[in-house]
Amino acid sequence: MSLEKEPEVQRALDQLTTLLQDNEVVQRYQNVKARIDQNTAVHTLEEAIKQAQKEAVHFAHYGKPEAEKQALKRADELTKQLEEHPLVIAYRESLSEANDLLQHLTGLIQKEINDAIEDETKHD
């Protein structure tokens, strides 16, 4: 690609970025992510899971298999609660939708680039 086309590429990239930021799927994802980031219940569950996992490692290190088993069971129960939290479910769904959109756009861009390269090599 020649250097004089770089500003054109940058403008196209800026336009695409703006379009993505304005896209309903991306906005929904950003909204849910912001709600998750501010949700104390979700953060409390995450911290409790980490603590139970640390306890399990600690108990394993000191040869206390029954205590380790209980800590792992507690971590699993807390993880299940976290995964079933409505906000976490909404987050995963919106993340998946946004990811699908980005993968689709990436595929379209890749196809356009490949087609342009093919056309260029045919004319050389």
Give the residue extent of every domain in the chain.
41-84, 86-124
Q: Is the Cβ–Cβ distance between 32 and 85 less than 8 Å? A: no
- The pLDDT assigned to 116 comes to 84
Evaluate if pTM is beyond 0.85: no
- The pLDDT assigned to 124 comes to 64
- The pLDDT assigned to 3 comes to 46
- The pLDDT assigned to 9 comes to 80
Residues in the chain with pLDDT values less than 70: 1-5, 124
> Which structure tokens are listed for 72?
């792992």
